[in-house]
């Protein structure tokens, strides 16, 4: 089973992450999202006593007015994640933090 390499994992302070997301969304246009491209989004992971947000890549399979549907394209870092590689998820455009064409 492949896991995200540690070199790809970057931790940001919450305020810094919000600033990066705002900067990305200034130039982001949903018209640029295409089928088979990848988008990075926050995926909520719930544990019994806390909520964790993990950033994951999603391969786009369909595009709707307000969101895309796709498959998770990396393995969650947190072993208790309520999602796994290949799961179908919906990602709202306002939650997209990166796009790879």
**What residue has token string 């006593």?**
49
Adjacent-strand bridge partners of 70: 60, 89
Distance CA 44, CA 86 (A): 16
Give the pLDDT of residue 5: 55
Give the pLDDT of residue 25: 74
Give the pLDDT of residue 77: 79
Give the pLDDT of residue 2: 56
C-alpha closest to that of 2 among 94, 100, 76, 99: 76
Q: What is the pLDDT of residues 9-29, one digit of tens each?
A: 555 555 556 776 677 777 778
Give the pLDDT of residue 19: 72
């Amino acid at each position: 089973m492949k896991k995200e390499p540690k070199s790809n994992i970057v931790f940001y302070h919450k305020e810094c992450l919000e600033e990066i997301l705002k900067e990305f969304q200034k130039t982001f246009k949903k018209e640029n999202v295409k089928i088979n491209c990848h988008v990075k989004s926050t995926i909520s992971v719930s544990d019994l006593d806390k909520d964790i947000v993990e950033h994951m890549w999603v391969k786009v399979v369909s595009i709707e007015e307000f969101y895309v549907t796709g498959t998770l394209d990396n393995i969650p870092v947190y072993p208790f994640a309520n999602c796994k590689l290949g799961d179908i998820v919906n990602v709202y455009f306002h939650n997209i933090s990166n796009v790879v064409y």
